[in-house]
Structures are given as structure tokens and as C-alpha cells.
Amino acid sequence: MKKLIFFWKELQATFWFLPVLIICMAVILSIGLVSLDNSITISQEGWLRFFLVNSPDSARSILSTISGAMIGVAGTVFSVTLVALTLASSQFGPRLIRNFMYVKLNQIVLGSYVATYLYCLLVLNSIKDNDGYTFIPSISILLAIFVAMANIVLLIIFIHQIAVSIQADRVISEISDFIANQLKTLFPEKMGEQKESEGKNNIATTLSAYQKQISIKSPKNGYLQYISSEVLVDLVSKQDSLLKVHYKPGSFLVKDIEIAELLTHSNWEQDQIERLLNQFVIGKTKTPQQDLEYSIHQMVEIASRALSPGVNDPYTAIACIDNLTSTMVYLAQAKFPSKYRYDEEGDLRVIAKALDFEGILDAAFNQIRQFSAGSTAVIIRLMEALTIIQKFTKSEDHKKAVIKHAKMILSLGEQTIKEKNDIEDLRERARIVLE
């Protein structure tokens, strides 16, 4: 089930799915309304005569005008979208394009204009005026007029959305919100259901009890996008085996590299191994669904570009550091899932490659620190971020990771900052972490 949810979310990230869905709905709606017009007769007396068309020529003229205008605006919308994607790619990095494609308004606008164009064509083709028989789909034409009015409002909203969406603060805020939602999924506050390690001796005893080892190799090159852990545990449990996974989502795999090692007492059929392999989704690009570092790298890329000599925008980098700080504060209090996965009977079935606090902290701050050499404001802000994170850390391992980064930032500042007062400010903040 979760694997289907993964593919559904990937489908929603495409730029074509929602527009195609809207176009299909427009085709069905045109057929249904034309059938309704054919089955009922509406009196054109009273106030209705101001809204209903009573002439075939007028009907053709209205539909032709609307369809021509809609396809023209659709081309403009498509061009504006491409320009926005180009600006976002050059300013924030190509990996940010995926975030813009997730915006439903862009998909709805493009789908709405193309669907209106196709709707008008289909209704236009239904108008008949020959051999004394006249058919005018009045209700269908009335709907086309209302939709055209709504599309004008939609165009104004779209232009506003595009203008706002390429602002640095808005992009950083949206990535931060996405990471926050991802954290709640990957690191819920209560993670007590999974057992911790039984100790090195017990784990070693469990591993040595299996008589055979089967190497599970990657069928192709690509990034590991998703692992269906629940199905893996179920498959391995049925065969009374144990699976050691060597990679986590986000890792790049080359063909025929060993991605897992299967420990078992009996032989596995080829179709069983294929089913096991199917639980590892490998694709050409990274996806953020199980890869927290992917979203963090997006934020880091914005900060790194802002610190480049050609841009030199420390305020954008500081905004990225602030949002990454909130992420690390959450993780400092979160319980990381154990790499040991057990079945319902309590037997160890999967040893996974799990995320750890130090690895995520490295992903968040290493590159920003490396690019911030000479930028006093950014270096001091990095140290301030660590002082905030340290206040929420409870684990000794987490504290050691924070101290390691504080030492590296202090060393960088002492080497690159020339002003003595700035160095003293940095050392004062570093003492809070180091002492």
C-alpha cells in the first residue's frame, strides 16, 4: 500500500498529470451538457433571454472567440511558467525545479485553459443549422462563458503566484515547511514500538546462526528512491531469514553492486528474490519521500549559491541557516528509528541503513561552512545556530556532533576573519557550546 502511495506522490509531481485529468473532465462535461441540451428545451422568455444564445451564428461566434482566446492564453501561461522555471533554476539551483512543479496552481491554470479550448471545440461541433433542423446547446455555451470569466480571474491569480514564488524568502519558507512535514512522517514524536539493539554479542549470535548467504544485487544504475520496509520484513519472515541492507534511500547504486545480503537456512527461488528486489525502487533521480537529506541539500544549495562570489548574498544564506536550525532542533529531540527491524513474533528480520543525527548535521552545515570562508556574518550565525541546537540536545552523541561542528566553525573563523572584535564575538559564542 505504501509503495502505491509513493508512486501516487511521484505522479503528482509531474507537470502533465493534473492538466490531463482536467482535460478528460472537460471532454466528459461537454458530452454530458450537449446531451442535456438535446433532451430538454429551455424557454428564452424573461431574464433568461439576456444569457441564452438563440442564433447559430452567435453561438459559433462566441465559442470561436472563447476557444481562440483560451489557447492563446495557454501558450502565454506555458511561456511564463518556463521563464519562472529558468529563473528558479539559475538563481536557486536545478533541483528546485521539482518544487515548482509540485505547485498545484500552475498545473490547474495550464489544464484549465487547454480544457476550456477543447470544451469549446467539442460544443462548437455540436451546433447544427441545416435542412430546417437547428440545434443550439444553450446551457453548454452559457457554461463556456462562465468558465471564460473564471479563467480571467485565474490568470490574475497565476501572475501573482509566479511573481511571489521566485522570491528567495518564499522559496526557503516553502522548503522549510516541506521538511517540517517530512520530519513528522519520518521522525514521529513517539517511536517506542521498535526495539533497540540487543547488544553486539546477541546480534552476532543471531547472524552466525544462519547457514547460507545470498547476495542481492542492484538490477540497474540509479538512485535508491524508496524501500518498502514493511513488505521486506513480511517476505523475510515467511522464509525465516534475515536481510542486511547496505544502503539507504538517496544512495546512488551501480549495476550489480550488492545492495543487501540475505542470511537464510534454505534456498530462495528466483521469483522470491525478484519479489524481494521489487521492494527497492531505483530511479534516475533522487526523491524526497524517504530521503531527508535531499530536502536539506536543496536548502544548502540555495545558501551555497548565495555565498558564491558572483552573488554574494549573505542574507539569503542566513535565512537558510535559520530554517535549518529549526530542523536540527526538532531532530535533536526526536527519537531516531532503530536500524534493527523485527517481525510480529519479535525475531530480528532486517538490519537497515538508518539515518543518524551527526550525518544530518553534516549535510546541513558542512557545505555552508566551507563556502562561508571570509563571510563574518554567516560564520557567526552558524555558531549561533549551534548554540541554539545544543540547548535542545539530550543525547551525548548528539552533543559530540554539535561540539565537532563548533570547533570547525571556530577554526574557520580564526583563519579567515581579520577583525579582532569579530573573532572575539565568535569565540564568545563558541564558549557556550564548547564549555
* pLDDT tens column, 307-317: 988 888 899 99
Using CA of residue 249, residue 251, residue 256, residue 258, what is the dihedral sign?
A: negative
pLDDT surpasses 60 at 194: no
**Percentage of the chain surpassing pLDDT 90?**
42
Average pLDDT of the chain is 86
Give pLDDT, residue 201. Answer: 52
pLDDT surpasses 70 at 193: no
Give pLDDT, residue 191. Answer: 34
User: How do the domains of the chain map onto residue ranges?
Assistant: 8-166, 200-283, 289-334+355-434
Which residues contact residue 84 at a Cβ distance below 8 angstroms, ignoring those fewer than 6 apart? 100, 162, 165, 166
CATH number listed for the domain at residues 200-283? 3.90.1170.30
For 13-39, write each residue's pLDDT tens digit: 777 888 999 999 999 999 999 999 888
Name the 3-class secondary structure at 351. Answer: strand
Q: What is the largest CA-CA distance in the chain?
A: 96
Please, how many CA atoms are within 13 Å of residue 287, restricted to the half-sphere of its CB? Answer: 21
Give pLDDT, residue 22. Answer: 94
Q: How far apart are CA 57 and CA 73, in angstroms?
A: 24
**Percentage of the chain surpassing pLDDT 70?**
93
Mean pLDDT of 93-111: 80
Give pLDDT, residue 379. Answer: 95
Name the 3-class secondary structure at 176. Answer: helix
Mean pLDDT of 58-63: 92
Give pLDDT, residue 131. Answer: 73
